[in-house]
Amino acid sequence: MMMNSLALLVTLKAKEGKEDEARKLLEHAASLASEDDSTVTWYALQFDANTFGIFDTFADEESRDNNMSGDALNKIKERADELFEDEPNIQKAAILATK
């Protein structure tokens, strides 16, 4: 099994006019995620003008589950009503291959 075989993909759609604030929130969340030793990798993504995401990887299920109540995701959830059209869409994923 790979060291980081489990992942979370979180997608977020910013409200109109809130795109810059959403981007800044994700940039700030990166510093919170870097303090979490159970997160192997953490990426903030932007798909289009108002669609953002987070992709992070974990060594085991316990680490991934703990992350779902971690500081970075909680900070995003705190501002979800203000910045995003809907609640964050959080999907668990298994990594099949990496390069």
Q: Where are the domains of the chain?
A: 6-94
The 10s digit of each residue's pLDDT in 10-55 is 999 999 999 999 999 999 998 888 888 889 999 999 999 999 999 9
Predicted confidence at residue 38, as pLDDT, reads 86
Q: Decide which of 3.40.1280.10, 3.40.640.10, 3.30.70.100, 3.10.105.10 is the CATH code for 6-94.
A: 3.30.70.100
- Residue 2 reports pLDDT greater than 70: no
Asked if 47 and 24 touch (Cβ cutoff 8 Å), the reply is no
Q: How many CB atoms lie within 10 A of CB 87?
A: 10
pLDDT at 4 over 80: no
The model's pTM is: 0.89
Report the alpha-carbon distance of residue 34 to residue 53 in Å, rounded.
Answer: 17
